[in-house]
A and B are shown apart, each in its own frame.
Chain A
Amino acid sequence: MNRDALVLIGSPKGIEKSASARVSLVLTEPLETAGWSVKRLWLYDADEDELLTSILSADLIILSSPLYFDSLPAPVIRRMEVVVEKRRRTPVEEKAPRFVSILNCGFVEPKHNETAQRICRRFASRARFEWYGSISLGCAGAMRRRIRRGLIIAGEALSKGFPVPPKVKRLTKKPLIPRLAYIVGGNVTWRRIAKKNGLSKGDLLAQPYKPRP
């Protein structure tokens, strides 16, 4: 049976280079192996008509996006608003598309994504999509074996028509590395990048705006 999956990438870094895209590729691998056709759209430049047509023909919609200030990036919210507005005017289908959200944040703990996942779930309900689960990742979507395994298990379940299994949450909810190591390693990395750009440690702390007295 031929099935269609639509992957919506919500990162400004695009459909190829972004962590959101990379993560989604691992998830869709089992779908493609099982014979699904997978279409990818970048939400930042997707043509509105194409987006809506693709949604209407999809059996499964996967949103993969970074976390911006505890929510989705503004252009992603804009697209969500448009989708719901258009869906309000289209007849109810016999079988609603299924919807899965994968969010990645720059913090070590995946739980920072929780508020945004609730927003995604609300969106799915307003758009008349069937909620098929969520996956939250930390460390900017970095993948180790445990995360990769979780994504593959999720992809396999989705390819068979099942929602994201609870096991995936168990595999992905724990920080990838100890939190203190992330702090130290992250801070060293930022300093190293700044140095490459000719900036000192002090430069990085600049306060260009006059604070309130």
Chain B
Amino acid sequence: MILNGGTSESASQADSVCETTAGLLERLGWGSSIFRMRDLDIAPCKGCFHCWIRTPGECIVDDPAREIAREFIRSDLAVFITPIVFGGYSHELKKGIDRLIPVLLPYFTFVGNEVHHVRRYRGYPNLLGIGILPARDPEEEAIFSQLLLRNSINMYALGVEACIIYAGEGEISAKIEGKLAEVIGG
């Protein structure tokens, strides 16, 4: 699955990255379902935990976020495409990610040396985050990588990669292809 988190300001570049990524996956023999987040009317997570203790595994709000969570569990790879915003994801991407909480159980357990939620499903997709920046920014790039790594722990991804694309960068295909190879191999 590909979540295209391009905002109205970053739409054209995010769409181009999305198209390139989907094309590369197709060449590798992978199918992909694409969600263009800015076109989807997704309510913010209410933090009600009903997806844990009333309708376990499914959010009570019936909107496209349910389909995103369903597809997330079905997928071998989740690609998050986003302009890098203060080192993190855009609000457009995050509105879908916030609603992924039903794919976990409410219970706590140790993962490594930390407490995390218990997995609900046996398998979860690997993660590839593709972040778009206007120019090199070591601090924001480091935060973006750290965020993906932390997400991979909470989302039980076995493989995780961060790929940074700079505005106006000519050839992005090889860069994304390299990261795809690493994360699919992971």
Binding site for B on A (CB under 8 A): 11-13, 44, 66, 68-75, 77-78, 80-81, 107-109, 111-112, 115-116, 118-120, 122-123, 126, 179, 182-183, 186-187, 190, 193-194, 197, 199, 203-212
Contacts and interface: CB of A to CB of B under 8 A. Distances in A.
Classify chain B's interface size: 35 or more
19 contacts: A12-B44, A12-B46, A44-B44, A69-B154, A70-B147, A70-B151, A70-B154, A73-B45, A73-B98, A81-B7, A112-B114, A119-B86, A179-B115, A183-B110, A207-B120, A209-B57, A209-B69, A209-B70, A211-B121
A183 B115 contact: yes
A120 B122 CA distance: 34
Contacts of B98: 68-69, 73-74
A66 B101 CA distance: 14
Contact of A81 (B74, B90, B109, B120): B90
B75 interface: yes
A209 B86 contact: no
Contacts, number: 157
B170 interface: no
Nearest to A11: B47
Contact of B94 (A77, A194, A207): A77
B146 interface: yes
Contacts of B97: 68-69, 74
Nearest to B54: A197
A187 B110 CA distance: 13
Contacts of A74: 44-45, 91-92, 94-95, 97-98
B161 interface: no
